[in-house]
């Protein structure tokens, strides 16, 4: 039954693959992609620590006869495939890092790995689907390498570390890859990327022209008070109370000062740390959070107000506070002309009724750093099982992806690549 469904699906997408003689290659790739995905899932590695992951990727690309570069932005890998005919240069990107999240899903390839994050030993899990991205792009690389005689131009396969953010005090990710020249020599003309989604129906593709994902900034607030006995709070300055009021005040910036009918803004606190025991009011507290914006002017305004509000609220409670807002990621922006050009290719790969446009979301992606340099198209691949009764968000212990949608990721990248490089 599975074979009949697959053949019917390949026939329904039109002549895109058949005209290049690729339908059989793509059909045979599914089992390999799933096997690779399960291996990466069982052996995840944190940002800037993807050593074994990078070794496996590089070995695969070398086995395909590609020119391979390693150690880009610490653990990044790039494979260069030159077609038999001259033409444009296209980049395809997959992110390769995992997260400090414990896995609860009962899978035969469940992760039991651990790593070190912020000085603590933590469980590690591919809780955002980057394992599927790696496997998909490895499958695409194998298909394209077998058919390089049909390629006009060059493809750069970019396997990028630290999409989730480099550890504190380190550089990494797409920004560092760009700084180290990943889009040069040869110069890339366009770049494509995808992200699997646990809540999006399997075998569908979602896209948006223009801004598709938010800019993101992490922020850290350090509050200083005066330590005292818990029985005599008047003998000191309580940094925990000041922190509570700071958090409350920050939320009013979103609800009372941002024109939310223009674009969304999200401000979330992810960590508060302070104190050691119940009867000691400590001398300091730390607040760590994330800010998501979809408009550059609104982003600048809320940054300004955060820097004004945090020390002012702390002072009102006799404490002192500093705030640091990091550079973050820009808005993930799909070039409108490139999106319009490649939309027929998305539909050819998935089927006309399986491709739909969405509104911008407040998730963020450092793929945006590539898009600042060259036109890019970023889209979402469905990973929700048809019979799923509950969907678990990304970055959670119960995150789950249906593997039956991985082959569409391969098909879509292959379709986009041939259409972009071979069509005038």
Which residues are designated catalytic? 329, 403
CA distances from 411 to 22, 351, 362 (A): 10, 11, 27
User: What gap in Å lies between CA 6 and CA 26, rounded to an integer?
Assistant: 11
Q: Which residues of 290-327 are buried (b: 16+ CB within 10 A; e: fewer)?
A: bbbbbbeebbebbbebbeebbbebbeebebbbebebee
By CB atoms closer than 10 A (0-12, 13-18, 19+), residue 4 is exposed
Of 287, 302, 270, 296, give the one whose Cα is nearest residue 215: 296
The 8-class DSSP code of residue 257 comes to I
Cα 62 to chain centroid distance, Å, stands at: 26
CA distances from 283 to 57, 223, 226, 278, 310 (A): 48, 8, 5, 14, 17
Contact between 205 and 382 under an 8 Å Cβ cutoff? The reply is yes
Strand extents, DSSP E, 35-75: 67-72
Q: What value, to the nearest 5°, has the Cα angle with vertex 176 and ends 170 and 179?
A: 135
Q: How far apart are the first and last CA of the chain?
A: 39
Long-range contacts of 53-59 (CB under 8 A, 24+ apart): 53/96, 53/134, 54/96, 54/159, 54/161, 57/96, 57/134, 57/138, 57/159
Of 116, 96, 72, give the one whose Cα is nearest residue 161: 96
Residues in the chain: 424
Map residue 414 onto helix, strand or coil. Answer: helix
Instruction: Please compute, for residue 172, the number of CA atoms within 13 A of its CA located in the half-sphere on the CB side.
Output: 24
């Amino acid at each position: 039954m599975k074979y009949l469904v697959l053949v019917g699906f390949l026939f329904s997408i039109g002549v895109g693959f058949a005209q290049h003689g690729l339908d059989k290659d793509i059909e045979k790739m599914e089992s390999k992609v799933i096997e690779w995905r399960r291996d990466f899932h069982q052996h995840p590695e944190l940002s800037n620590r993807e050593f074994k992951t990078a070794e496996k990727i590089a070995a695969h690309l070398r086995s395909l006869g590609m020119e391979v570069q390693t150690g880009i932005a610490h653990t990044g890998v790039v494979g260069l495939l030159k077609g038999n005919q001259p033409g444009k240069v296209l980049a395809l990107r997959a992110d390769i890092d995992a997260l400090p999240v414990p896995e609860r899903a009962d899978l035969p390839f469940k992760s039991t790995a651990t790593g070190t994050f912020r000085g603590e030993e933590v469980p590690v899990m591919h809780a955002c689907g980057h394992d599927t991205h790696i496997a998909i792009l490895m499958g695409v690389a194998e298909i394209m390498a077998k058919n390089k005689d049909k390629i006009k131009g060059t493809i750069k396969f970019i396997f990028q570390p630290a999409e989730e953010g480099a550890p504190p005090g380190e550089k990494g990710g797409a920004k560092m890859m760009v700084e180290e020249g990943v889009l040069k020599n040869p110069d890339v003309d366009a770049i494509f990327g995808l992200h699997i989604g646990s809540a999006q129906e399997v075998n569908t593709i979602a896209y948006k022209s223009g801004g598709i994902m938010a800019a993101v900034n992490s922020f850290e607030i350090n509050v200083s008070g005066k330590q005292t006995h818990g029985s005599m709070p008047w003998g000191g300055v309580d940094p925990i109370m000041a922190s509570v009021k700071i958090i409350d005040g920050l939320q009013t910036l979103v609800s009372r000062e941002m024109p939310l009918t223009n674009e969304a803004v999200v401000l979330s606190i992810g960590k508060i740390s302070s104190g050691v025991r119940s009867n000691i009011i400590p001398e300091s507290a730390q607040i760590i959070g994330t800010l998501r914006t979809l408009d550059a002017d609104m982003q600048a305004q809320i940054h300004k107000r955060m820097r004004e509000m945090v020390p002012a609220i702390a002072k009102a409670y006799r404490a002192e506070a500093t705030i640091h807002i990091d550079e973050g990621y820009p808005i993930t922006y799909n070039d409108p002309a490139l999106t319009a050009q490649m939309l027929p290719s998305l539909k050819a790969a998935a089927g006309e009724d399986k491709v739909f446009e969405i509104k911008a979301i407040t998730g963020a992606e450092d793929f945006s750093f590539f898009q600042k340099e060259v036109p890019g198209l970023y889209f979402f691949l469905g990973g929700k099982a048809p019979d799923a009764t509950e969907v678990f968000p990304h970055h959670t212990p119960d995150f789950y992806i249906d593997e039956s949608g991985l082959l569409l990721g391969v098909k879509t990248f292959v379709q986009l690549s041939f259409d972009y490089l071979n069509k005038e």
